[in-house]
Every structure is written in structure tokens, then in C-alpha cells.
Amino acid sequence: MPSAASDIIRRTPFVRLHDVFLAYEHQICTYWSEVDVKQYFYRGDKTMARRRIIAGNWKMNKTPTEAVALCNELKDLVKNDDVDVVYCVPAIDIVPVAEAVKGTNVHVGAENFYIEDKGAFTGEISAPMLKDAGVEYIIIGHSERRDIFGENDVLINAKVKKAFAAGLKPILCCGESLALRKADTYKEWIERQITWDLSGVSADQVKNLVIAYEPIWAIGTGETATADQAEEVCKLIRELIAKLYDQATADAVRIQYGGSMNAGNAAELLSKPNIDGGLIGGASLKADFGQIVNA
């Protein structure tokens, strides 16, 4: 395996992260061809009941005052004892949102953090800080962080491991661009992302992981993947987890679809056997979110 991810990242100027990723690509591939992955599939009818998880990704929306108002507006609409409901909110909204949802069925999530606990990392926020503020879930590897902020799979893998070590539950995002979809190479892309992002992560940890399949061409575009397209990739991800770990782990991991999910299309997407929930951007900021939770 390449030298520790945090060392690579620390030694490398931010804008060069993508180059580092490419430089270490060969080594990572070599590592994965040597690693002792369990290659067997266990097929049977012992599928575990997975609890549905509907998470809102508020992105860079809502001031603290607006955030509390939204929590109050959604409070009765998102009630459902059979669903894990999560609001992943901007860092500045975490404390007021945690206070506003106290005593409800809503869990608090964050949208980003850095892999060190503390120190000279101006502008960053750490996993222990999030944990102390009441955060349970953390989005990692969202396409906006990959594309706009240059986060690569080396950093994303380090974040997944750090999140687990700190007691946070990662919502690990993956997804292909329109170009990869059109080139029909999206399956290989997704498998590669997940394999790298979970390098060194244990089966017990993966059982508590949430994976969000988010085709980039469907995020914020109003163009949703069809339920069959979403199911195809979510099933592929579950089969990959079975290959990398074992069937029990694959049966336990929860897989969400994300990409223009809304009150109108949620029920069909969520009816698919390998789609255990949704990661929702735009529609999580309005009353529609309640309809998605109860779809």
C-alpha cells in the first residue's frame, strides 16, 4: 500500500492532489491485486431486513436561523419510526440543528471534515469536533467535493477510516459522470471508486456504512436515473461488497440512491430491492422531504 494517506496529503499542495492520485494509482492497483480479499459469493435467501435511511444533503444552504426554521417546518412531516432520517447540514448549522431536533426521530449529519484531530489546518473542522456537537453521520466523497475541491480516493479512503475511528457513520458517495455513462464504463468506475475508498476498512465497519450511489448527471439536474438504472448499480455495489468482504456484510450495508430524488419518484426508486434509502439535495430543503421519508 502507498505510504500513509495523511503523509501524502500533508506533503502535497492542495491543487496537486489529483496528480498524487494518478501517481499512486499504479501502486494502489498492485496492492489490490495482492490483497487477500474474500472472493466467494454466498447466495441464499437469508437476506437481512435493512432499515431505510433517508438523508438530506443541505449543501451550502440555510443560515443558522433559517436552519432552525426548516427543522421546525419539517418536524411533523418527517415522523416515521421505521426510517432513519438524517439532516446533513453546513458546519455552522450543526449546533442549532442538533438542538432543534432534540427529542425527534431526526439524526444530525455533517457534510465535510478533515482527517486530523486538531492543529494548524485553518478553516477545517475535525471528526471529534463533529462528534462532540452531536453529529452521527458524515457525507464523504460527494461528487461536489471530488470535482470542485479536488478530493481524491486517497483522501476519501483516509476520511472513511478516520470517521469510523471517531465513531461517525460515513455516507460514502460514488457515481459516474455523463461521459462515463455514455461510454458504458460506469460499472468499472463505480467498482474502482468503492474498492479504493474501502481499502483497509473492516467488514464490521462496512456493516455500519451507508453507500450513496449518485450518478453525477442526475445531481441537481432534475434528471433522475430510472428506478431500473439505479437498482442496477446499487445491486452491483452490493455484489462488490460480497466479493471484497462476505455476503453477511453485503446484506447489512445500506445503499442509497441520490440524484434529483423527489416526492414524485421516491416511491418507485425505494421499492427496488437493493435501494435502502435516498440522499436528497434540493428536495430536502422543503416540505417534499416529508413525503420522501414516508414514500
Smallest gap, in angstroms, from Cβ of residue 217 to ligand PEP?
10
Q: Which of 30-38, 106-114, 119-127, 280-288 is the region at the interface with ligand PEP (rule: CB under 6 A)? A: 280-288
Question: Which residue type, as a one-letter code, is found at position 179?
Answer: A
Asked if 260 is part of the footprint of ligand PEP (rule: CB under 6 A), the reply reads yes
Distance of CA 231 to the CA centre of its chain: 17
Find the shortest distance in angstroms from Cβ 262 to ligand PEP.
8
Share in percent of the chain as helix, strand, coil (round to 5)? 45, 15, 40
Question: Is 277 a binder of ligand PEP (CB under 6 A)?
Answer: no
Among candidate residues 151, 191, 214, 231, the one labeled active-site is: 214
Q: How many CB atoms lie within 10 A of CB 25?
A: 16
Question: Which one of the spans 61-69, 149-157, 243-251, 257-265 is the region binding ligand PEP (CB under 6 A)?
Answer: 257-265
| 31/148 Cα distance (integer angstroms) | 28
Residue whose C-alpha cell reads 437481512 in the numeric block? 48
Restricting to residues 165-224, name those near ligand PEP by CB under 6 A.
214, 219-220
Tell me, residue by residue from 34 to 73, as one string, x for binding to ligand PEP by CB under 6 A and - for no binding.
-----------------------x----------------
**Looking at 96, 109, 141, 282, which residue binds ligand PEP (CB under 6 A)?**
282
Is the separation of the CB atoms in 82 and 51 below 8 Å? yes
**Shortest CB 258 distance to ligand PEP, Å:** 4
The window from 97-105, 119-127, 239-247, 254-262 that contacts ligand PEP (CB under 6 A) reads 254-262
- Does 279 interact with ligand PEP (rule: CB under 6 A)? yes
Which residue in this structure is represented by grid cell 446533513? 88
Cell match 431526526: residue?
A: 106
Q: Residue 99 catalytic?
A: no
Q: Are strands 137-140 and 210-213 parallel, antiparallel or unpaired?
A: unpaired
Q: Please check whether residue 6 is in contact with residue 155, taking contact to mean a CB–CB distance below 8 angstroms.
A: no
Residue 66 designated active-site = no
**In the complex, what is the shortest distance from the CB of residue 292 to ligand PEP, in angstroms, rounded to a whole number?**
10
Q: Following DSSP, what letter does each residue of 258-292 receive, concatenated? A: ESS--TTTHHHHHTSTT--EEEESGGGGSTHHHHH
Of 71 and 280, which CB lies nearer to ligand PEP in the complex structure? Answer: 280
Instruction: Report in angstroms how near the CB of residue 143 gets to ligand PEP at its nearest.
Output: 8
Cell of 220: 441537481
Applying CB under 6 A, does 259 fall inside the site for ligand PEP? yes
Work out the number of other CB atoms within 10 angstroms of the CB of residue 158: 23
Q: Does 158 bind ligand PEP (CB under 6 A)?
A: no
Cell of 192: 474502482
d(CA 120, CA 37): 37
Q: Quick check: 219 and 284 in contact, CB under 8 A?
A: no
Of 173 and 240, CB closest to ligand PEP: 173
Smaller CB distance to ligand PEP: residue 158 or 292?
Answer: 292
Q: For binding to ligand PEP (CB under 6 A), which residues are involved?
A: 57, 214, 219-220, 258-261, 279-283
Q: Annotated catalytic sites, by residue? A: 142, 214
